[in-house]
Chain A
Amino acid sequence: MAVEILKEKYRSQVREVVLGATKDEGGTRSATIKVGGESTLPFLHFEGEVPNPPVVAMEVWDIFPEEWPQNLKDAFGDALNDPAAWAKKCVEEFGADLIALRFKGADPDVKDASAEDCIAVLKTVLEAVGVPLIVYGCGKLEKDNAIIGPIGEAAEGENLLLGVAEQENYKSVASAAMAYKHSVIAQSPIDINIAKQLNILISEMSTPLLDRIVIDPTIAALGYGIEYSYSIMERARFGALNGDRMLGMPMIGNVGHEVWSKKETFIPVDEEPGWGDQAERSLAWEAVTAIALLQAGMNILVMRHPQAVKLVKQNIDELMQDNSY
């Protein structure tokens, strides 16, 4: 008996978002990257299109990442002292599709770096690598609101992916994106309704921005509530495929940021003998978090450990193989 393959017919597809801009497009990137555009659930090529593979961005900080575990620092060596060299290493040695530049040093409690300081770092990174950039502030609203405008202006036309717009605080990021031709990360706290509402708010500021939004559904690390993120993402993607325009954006997840603060990544084996080798365990923790989220529809993974990145990129390559019947 021949099996009748069950193919779902969806009404819609995920929006395609372009990141970065080449010289012709008003930027300086050597190539742009497209994310989204799929018309089926993750990697089900047998029933729909997955035109763009998920991509991996690697994190680069404007300051030395003191708090990272030693094995993570060792993976980069001296490059961690110089954002440009660090970014170059990520792209050339580790195959990062994008760089996610985090202005940790702008935190008033860290270095209180000014907008000018940030811009100087941004420029060296833009010069060092040709891939598109994601830009994160320091996480303190007031400061981030103050620096995001000048940063956006300084990189006008580059089509950076600017983070992060939240429901209570989206205007400064969205305005910078609007004024200087960038894209926006819209972050919602594991809540599908807020994700939608935020996209509506941003699109009310500027309709064309709708095609330049990437949803950050807020992800949790493996073992710390990842299942909530997983199910929210599955529901959001299902909604998108069934025609909900305000949920139809690609999704981004801050995997490295969530994972590397958890004790599974830094407790040495002599303190938890049952957990196995810390170096290997930590990168496995990041990689498994990432591949689980890929199965829920993640389009952009922001990660840290080069070996975890390599494993995840290979997993993506394998999953992008056609599986039509």
Chain B
Amino acid sequence: MGLSGLEIFKQLPKTNCKECGYPTCLAFAMALANGKASLDACPDVTEEAKEALASAAAPPIKMVKVGAGDRVIEMGDETEIFRHDKRFNHPTAVTVEVKDTDDLDARLAVINDLTFERVGQEYSVDMIALVNASGDAGKFKAAAETVKGKTEKNVVLVSEDTAAMEGALDVLAERKPLVYAANKDNFEKMTELAKSKECPLAVKGEDLNSLAELVDKIVALGYKELVLDSGSRETSKVLADLTQIRRLAVRKKFRAFGYPSIAFTSKDDPQEDLMQAGVYLSKYASIVVLKTDKKEHLLPLFSWRANLFTDPQKPAQVQPGLHAIGDADENSPVYCTTNFSLSFYLVEGEVSSTRIPSYILSVDTNGTSVLTAYADNRYTAESIAAAIKSTGLEDKVKHKNIVIPGLVAVLKGSLEDESGWDVTVGPREASGITKFAKEKFA
């Protein structure tokens, strides 16, 4: 991605006039390529050159925003096909569908209440998609009023009828909803509507070809805040289309597909609906619209999203040292684990669900797990004893008892000798901590 210094250099005046503060045009080009300078610094650069450089340096997928104020959701701006190469930037916006024929007060109350807490992270539904199922413009507008009054969530307005869209958009324009959708018949009017209210616009094709054509037509009308829908609804076809859209944008810089994407589930059964949503979330959809509004369905989906969009290159470590869970005091139990984030978060999650204020001593194992660190001689009687000393644990609690993972039960004797503490062998898996704590510390 991005242009090389030489490619940029070709577009510059090549007069070496030094106005930009660099000794030569080439030096300036190099600085530009490294993101250290801005093109504005050169007074003589031509308009054509500006345009050529801007479009060539643009990211393969444009960032498009939906929502306003601190509720803005950023979409697109992705550069990768595979998660292991580099982090996926913007987590899929999980969107629940409601219809203008539903009992909206009730449904919105349920959706507003969908917030989840798991391993210290909070999730909630990102958007609602209001569907003009009635086919009636008046009803759609009235539903938009209800939405405005009853929820602060971001909105996707779903109607291909421009009159209905106009009415609803009048109500909700300040929320910057996603206008769904421009199709081959209505695109001029839809584009005008979205453009006049400065709202993002979804473009719905009948297949990839017609989608690309339609995008080009809308871009020619001067609007680029777009979100793509190939129109497919069968699981396998949607997977293929989302893959092509991402690949062509990233690998070929195919402009018509350089926008975020939206996918709709097509099932009536809430469990099947969840399965489809899982596929689309795994493979590149920027927005997934699904029907189920049950906590037990959405929690796994949010968890998968949280996992998929983590940074694969960030060393999976937490700060070694002593971590207090709850209002830990001098009588609180002490658990010992490594500083591998996965181990630590597991233990932390379990310890906090015991609701007994506790300490977790995270020993610096260079981010390796209990067993690996044990095998590598990083998680040993010596290293644990040293951590007890260096964290001042002896002054923090007035007992001398520490719980070690069941997987390294063999360390008990040597750690007792080394540290002078009593060692309790805990469960082998973090999932056993709740039961263990109930028996030992409750």
Contacts and interface: CB of A to CB of B under 8 A. Distances in A.
Contacts of A85: none
Given A263-B431, A318-B235, A284 B297 contact: yes
Interface string B91-107: 00000000000000000
A292 B115 CA distance: 23
Contact of A45 (B236, B257, B278, B304): B236
Interface stretch (B13-21, B150-158, B268-276, B325-333): B268-276
A288 B256 contact: no
A276 B299 contact: yes
Interface string A209-236: 0000000000010111111101100110
A5 B296 contact: no
B312 interface: yes
Interface string A284-301: 110111011001000000
Interface residues of A, number: 55
Contact of A315 (B82, B211, B279): B279
B68 interface: no
A51 B342 CA distance: 37
B206 interface: no
B395 to A, nearest CB: 33
Nearest to A221: B303
B431 A321 contact: no
A322 interface: yes
A1 B115 contact: no
Nearest to B122: A274
B209 interface: yes
A218 to B, nearest CB: 12
A59 interface: no
Contacts of A5: 208, 244
B392 interface: no
A14 B391 CA distance: 51
A288 B274 contact: yes
B240 A44 contact: yes
A3 B212 contact: yes
B119 interface: yes
A276 B247 contact: no
A6 B244 contact: yes
B84 A292 contact: no
A262 interface: yes
A227 B278 CA distance: 14
A323 interface: yes
A227 B83 CA distance: 9
Nearest to B343: A225
A76 interface: no
Interface in B204-255: 208-209, 211-213, 216, 234-237, 239-240, 243-244, 247-248, 251-252, 254
A319 B235 contact: yes
Contact of A288 (B240, B257, B300, B353): B300
A314 interface: yes
Contact of B308 (A2, A227, A277): A227
B295 to A, nearest CB: 3
Contacts of A307: 271
B300 A230 contact: no
B300 A284 contact: yes
B216 A234 contact: no
B90 interface: no
A231 B346 CA distance: 20
Contacts of B213: 1
A261 interface: yes
A276 B236 contact: no
Given A319-B239, A319-B279, A261 B300 contact: no
Contacts of B244: 3, 5-6, 46
B282 to A, nearest CB: 4
Nearest to A232: B84
B299 A264 contact: yes
Most chain B beta carbons < 10 A, residue from A45, A261, A289, A318? A318
B282 A295 contact: yes
A224 B345 CA distance: 9
B84 A295 contact: no
Nearest to B349: A263
A273 B182 CA distance: 41
Contact of A295 (B116, B248, B279): B279
B115 A315 contact: no
Interface string A4-43: 1110000000000000000000000000000000000001
A98 B274 CA distance: 25
A280 interface: yes
A274 B294 CA distance: 10
Nearest to B281: A292
Interface in B109-132: 115-119
B166 to A, nearest CB: 30
B306 to A, nearest CB: 8
Given A274-B295, A275-B299, A287-B274, A224 B237 contact: no
Contacts of A231: 82-84, 312
Given A280-B296, A318-B235, A288 B278 contact: yes
Given A262-B431, A275-B295, A292-B282, A311 B271 contact: yes
A40 to B, nearest CB: 11
B237 A323 contact: yes
Contacts of B252: 4, 6
Contacts of A86: none
Contact of A226 (B116, B234, B251, B307): B307
A224 B208 contact: no
Contacts of B353: 263, 267
B89 interface: no
A275 B296 CA distance: 6
Contacts of B283: 295
Contacts of A262: 431
Given A1-B216, A5-B208, A274-B117, 10 more contacts: A5-B244, A226-B304, A264-B118, A276-B294, A288-B274, A288-B301, A292-B278, A292-B308, A319-B236, A320-B236
Interface of A: 1-6, 43-46, 220, 222-228, 230-231, 234-235, 238, 261-264, 267, 274-278, 280-281, 284-285, 287-289, 291-292, 295, 307, 311-312, 314-315, 318-323, 325
9 contacts: A1-B212, A1-B256, A6-B251, A225-B342, A238-B82, A277-B294, A281-B296, A284-B299, A318-B235
